[in-house]
Structure 1
Amino acid sequence: MSSTPNQAAEAAKLMKNASAFLLDIEGTTTSISFVKDKLFPYVRENLATYLKENWAEASFQGVLKKLVEQAKADVEAKMEGAVALDDEEESPEKAQDAVKNNVLWMMDADRKAGALKLLQAQMYVKGYEAGSLKGHLYDDVEPQFKKWNEDGKKIYIYSSGNVEAQKLLFKNSEAGDVSALIADYFDTDMGAKVEKESYTKIAEKIGKPIGEVLFFTDIVKEADAATEAGMPVILLEREGNAPLTEADKTKYTVISSFKIEVEEEEVPAKKQKLDVDAKPAEEEKKAEEETMEVQLEEKKVEEKETETEISEEKKESNSTNGVHHKNGTEEKTNGSEDKSNGEEKESNGTEEKTNGESKEEEKSEESAAQKTVSPTKKVVTDEAAGDAPQVAAE
């Protein structure tokens, strides 16, 4: 009997997500046979002796009162076979016989009455103290409890058995005292295990969101109640437990041990060969992708560096343009001076041109004068032969 790979994986996931664990005892942490074949027979065999020896004890008188109240309620409810109890019996012997018959009737009917569980717990104390009883735990329970504690996840017990009886079982187990691994215990004082309100109360008592408390049980009706309350559930399929239907296994995650081993599904030989052949190609593809990622990163770095360089060049260019603008202003000023000098030169040129024109006019007049004088000289020359002194005297 073992969990399927899918069930084991789902159980592992539920355990991982839970922050606290709530566990049933019978059929979950402890075999049903221990309860039915050890604990219950111990009560049956030692009930008469226990009543006789503890009848006058104050602790038992408190239990007796509860048993009488329960018996009256059963008779009023007209439960078949109900045994009435009268706390005013004529003799202790008759009263003890009536109590014995009432207790055995409830045990035969598998009643979960609080008064019955309280009496059983008191009797278990005697059995554990005497060494007649040793609490049974499945082999996977104690190691798993330790692991959960190491993981910081708290463990709680919820059973129809009285809290005191629960503590005795874990304190006096075949694996030793494991009670230190358990944070707290709950019994039917929190409500019946088939009622959703019971699980809501327990979650509130624990102080955890109900969705974070994982409940383990072997009883489908209990699982249904917890689920209805919003508490996740794992069913235990232990040897000796009532068989689960296929519908139960479909509805709930089912395991046969707390030791969960999530294994990969077996791969057919042909598929394994294909996977081996494909491995180099996959590795090559992975290497190419890694190379592309490196190149992409390098490109990003280069682009960033380029952007930085462009930004610096822009800053430098702006700084240089500022200097050129200043020089341009100076050049413009010099240009204005050159223009002014040019105008002065042009003015001088004009003056020189005027002077030139005056000189040419003088030269022209001289030339004209010379032309006027020349005929006279010729006349003089011509006349010189005859009367030169006269001409000269003029």
Structure 2
Amino acid sequence: MTITSILTDLEGTTTDIRFVHNVLFPYAREHLASYVASQWNNPEVASIVKQVRDEIDDPQADQAAIITVLTRWIDQDKKITPLKALQGLMWADGYANGDFTGHLYKDAYEHLSAWKKAGLSLNVFSSGSVSAQKLLFKYSDYGDLTGLFDGFYDTNYGHKREQSAYESIAKAMGTPAGSILFLSDIQEELDAAKAAGMHTCLLERDDKIDSPRHKVVQSFDQINF
């Protein structure tokens, strides 16, 4: 079946993982307490707080407890939806204030642009929230690239290492799984996508990765389909 759609991971695939861990995560951790305190009555933050309370099964958790939990989740690099949503809100301020721009590998930018011109559908699946994904591309090193993409998907569709997540995304895209190429630097994610019927390609940006189950490339320049 002909590939008509690209589904791509971000960290380690289109974006240097060091940007996320050395810029975005520390920024969110540094500003978390003051942001939650100042935005406590903001409806978006209130909704996130409710999700945190549900997650820890403590409907009475106060502001200090919420901040403690969120900080711990950041330190543990937890892929928890309410944390990702809150980080997205904080990063929005950082991008808008010009504190940083969204990193994108040059080869990723060039090929995503070329694939879009060739008529392929481009989509993103990341553990980061949809809002965080859009911010990275809106304020990217190459300008606003949000127009390149047809869909953004996060953990609301399921864990990235679960087959069902990719089945749900294919359904949401309205595209047969066999027409989708999934790009990632994590073998377990690729395994799940392959089990769902997608084509797969593993990006090894820095470290050598042996993968008998997936095609391995060092950059988007080597992706052929």
Tell me how far 1:198 sits from its aligned partner: 1.0
Aligned to 2:9: 24
1:27, 1:207 → 2: CA distance? Answer: 27
Aligned to 1:178: 145
Given candidates 151, 169, 179, the residue that maps to 1:212 is 179
Structure 2 unaligned runs (5+)?
none
**Higher share of residues assigned strand:** 2
2:100, 2:69 → 1: CA distance? Answer: 24
**Contact 1:215/1:234 (CA < 8 Å) preserved in 2?**
yes
**Contact 1:85/1:99 (CA < 8 Å) preserved in 2?**
no
Aligned to 1:325: none
Given candidates 17, 20, 24, the residue that maps to 1:35 is 20
Tell me how far 1:169 sits from its aligned partner: 0.5
**Contact 1:193/1:222 (CA < 8 Å) preserved in 2?**
yes
Given candidates 162, 175, 182, the residue that maps to 1:195 is 162
Tell me how far 1:142 sits from its aligned partner: 1.6
Alignment of 1:282-301 (within 5 A): none
Classify the secondary structure of the residue corresponding to 2:132: helix
1:171, 1:224 → 2: CA distance? Answer: 30
**Higher share of residues assigned helix:** 1
1:110, 1:85 → 2: CA distance? Answer: 23
Partner deviation per Cα, 1:328-351 (whole Å, 9 max, x = no partner): xxxxxxxxxxxxxxxxxxxxxxxx
1:233, 1:32 → 2: CA distance? Answer: 20
Give the TM-score, by structure 1 length: 0.55
1:126, 1:209 → 2: CA distance? Answer: 37
Tell me how far 1:195 sits from its aligned partner: 0.8
Given candidates 155, 172, 187, the residue that maps to 2:122 is 155
Tell me how far 1:133 sits from its aligned partner: 2.5
**Contact 1:211/1:231 (CA < 8 Å) preserved in 2?**
yes
Amino acid at match of 1:145: L
Classify the secondary structure of the residue corresponding to 1:233: strand
**Contact 2:127/2:154 (CA < 8 Å) preserved in 1?**
yes
Aligned to 1:86: 60
Given candidates 65, 85, 105, the residue that maps to 2:72 is 105
Name the count of aligned residue pairs. Answer: 224
**Contact 2:32/2:71 (CA < 8 Å) preserved in 1?**
no
Aligned to 1:55: 40
Structure 1 unaligned runs (5+)?
1-13, 73-83, 88-94, 263-394
Given candidates 192, 202, 220, the residue that maps to 1:258 is 220
**Contact 2:35/2:90 (CA < 8 Å) preserved in 1?**
yes
Tell me how far 1:261 sits from its aligned partner: 8.2
Q: Which has the greater radius of gyration?
A: 1
Amino acid at match of 2:192: A
* Structure possessing the higher relative contact order (Cα contacts under 8 Å, 6 or more residues apart): 2
**Contact 1:213/1:232 (CA < 8 Å) preserved in 2?**
yes
Tell me how far 1:85 sits from its aligned partner: 6.8
Find runs of 4+ consecutive structure 1 residues off by over 6 angstroms.
none
CA RMSD of aligned residues (A): 1.7
Tell me how far 1:108 sits from its aligned partner: 2.1
Q: In 2 relative to 1, CA 43–254 (structure 1 residues): closer, same or farther, beyond 3 Å?
A: same
**Contact 1:21/1:155 (CA < 8 Å) preserved in 2?**
yes
2:110, 2:17 → 1: CA distance? Answer: 20
Q: In 2 relative to 1, CA 189–213 (structure 1 residues): closer, same or farther, beyond 3 Å?
A: same
Classify the secondary structure of the residue corresponding to 1:144: helix
Amino acid at match of 2:125: Y
Give the TM-score, by structure 2 length: 0.94
Partner deviation per Cα, 1:117-146 (whole Å, 9 max, x = no partner): 111111111111111121100011221111
